[in-house]
């Protein structure tokens, strides 16, 4: 320490030259960081406040206040159709699985006020509950099923097999274990399913969309 003070007293000019060099190097480094930050900001846009899922949200879940948080993301990373930057989206029903941290989009949530089966029903579809019976596979919301109707030979439509589909690739909206499965069918299929429920035996067959 003594030697350093002695050196500084004997060669003060070298001290100030070194100090100015260090200050200049610091300024160059800081300027480089700022320039890179400005380039990144120009590339990705300014930060925006957006609502994201605080935890994974399954289809049919009703969004609570604790399920949403607000984060600031670059504009280029914010998808179109996002909700307003407010965590107050409680009460909306999830239509499509949402991952943790994913931006909440209006298209993935049912409109305000719609909950339960009504919120999951595709536009133009009809919902019918089919009692669970022998042969019904284990089903979950979002599965697709064919609705098969079985009649006594004498009750079957003329020329038809006693067992035939009355709805194809129907979307499973809700499952009440050991009781019933609610499915979404087209307006043309709904009367056929209703007739089968009244006059025959209905079985659900799991299928792909």
Rounded mean pLDDT for each run of 10 residues along the chain, 209 residues in total:
54 56 59 54 70 90 87 81 61 88 87 83 93 88 93 65 90 93 96 94 89
Domains with residue ranges and CATH for the chain = 45-114 (3.90.1210.10), 121-207 (no CATH)
Cα Rg, the chain, nearest whole Å = 32
Model pLDDT, residue 192: 95
3-state secondary structure 71-97: EEEEHHHCCCCECCCCCCCCCCEECCC
Model pLDDT, residue 148: 94
Provide the angle, in degrees to the nearest 10, between the axes of the packed helices 12-44 and 2-10: 100
Model pLDDT, residue 155: 54
In a 10 Å sphere around its CB, with 0-12 CB exposed, 13-18 middle and 19+ buried, how is residue 92 labelled?
buried
In a 10 Å sphere around its CB, with 0-12 CB exposed, 13-18 middle and 19+ buried, how is residue 13 labelled?
exposed
Model pLDDT, residue 143: 93
Model pLDDT, residue 86: 57
d(CA 7, CA 62): 74
Model pLDDT, residue 135: 83
Model pLDDT, residue 10: 57
> How many C-beta neighbours within 10 Å does residue 83 have?
19
pTM (2 decimals)? Answer: 0.64
Model pLDDT, residue 107: 85
> Are residues 141 and 175 in contact, defined by beta-carbon separation less than 8 angstroms?
yes
């Amino acid at each position: 320490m003594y030697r350093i003070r002695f050196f500084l007293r004997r060669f003060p000019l070298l001290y100030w030259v070194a100090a100015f060099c260090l200050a200049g190097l610091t300024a160059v480094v800081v300027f480089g960081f700022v320039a890179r930050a400005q380039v990144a900001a120009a590339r990705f846009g300014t930060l925006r406040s957006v609502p994201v899922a605080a935890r994974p949200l399954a289809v049919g879940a009703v969004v609570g206040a604790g399920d949403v948080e607000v984060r600031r993301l670059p504009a280029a990373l914010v998808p179109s159709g996002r909700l307003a930057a407010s965590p107050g989206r409680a009460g909306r029903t999830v239509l499509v699985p949402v991952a943790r941290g994913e931006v909440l989009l209006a298209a993935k949530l049912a409109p305000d006020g719609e909950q339960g089966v009504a919120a999951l029903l595709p536009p133009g579809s009809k919902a019918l509950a089919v009692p669970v019976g022998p042969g019904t596979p284990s089903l979950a919301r979002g599965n697709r099923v064919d609705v098969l109707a079985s009649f006594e030979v004498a009750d079957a439509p003329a020329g038809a097999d006693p067992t035939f589909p009355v709805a194809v690739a129907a979307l499973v909206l809700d499952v009440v274990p050991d009781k019933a499965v609610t499915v979404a069918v087209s307006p043309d299929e709904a009367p056929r399913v209703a007739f089968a429920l009244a006059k025959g035996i209905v079985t659900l067959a799991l299928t792909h969309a």
